[in-house]
Amino acid sequence: MSRLQTKNMGLIDRVVRGLIGVTLLFMTSVFGGILFAFALGGGLAVLATAVLGYDPFYEVLGISTHFDQDTDTPTGSM
């Protein structure tokens, strides 16, 4: 499996990130200037990690919240 196919985020993590990403994208209608850019970039980045189920920072830190369906244990170390 390639690195991007290996999921390291669990369902709860993905749902929370999705909600945060959508909230940041909605906040772009309120903010202007540099805050708009941060809200837009942050919202898109958080949504992308939620959709893919993969966070590169988790891999660097050796964290995984993704559980194996058969054994109910994390697929990586925590």
Task: Determine the Cα angle at 1 with ends 65 and 77, to 5°.
Answer: 30
User: Across residues 10-32, what is the average pLDDT?
Assistant: 93
**What share of the chain has pLDDT > 90, as a percent?**
54
**Contact indicator for 25, 51 with CB cutoff of 8 Å:** no
- Burial degree of 63 (CB within 10 A; 0-12, 13-18, 19+): middle
pLDDT at 78: 47
* Single-letter amino acid code for the residue at 59: E
User: Across residues 43-70, what is the average pLDDT?
Assistant: 87
Average pLDDT, the chain: 84
User: Which pLDDT band, with edges at 50, 70 and 90, does 7 fall under?
Assistant: confident
Res 75 pLDDT > 60: no
Residue 67 backbone phi and psi in degrees, to 5: -100, 140
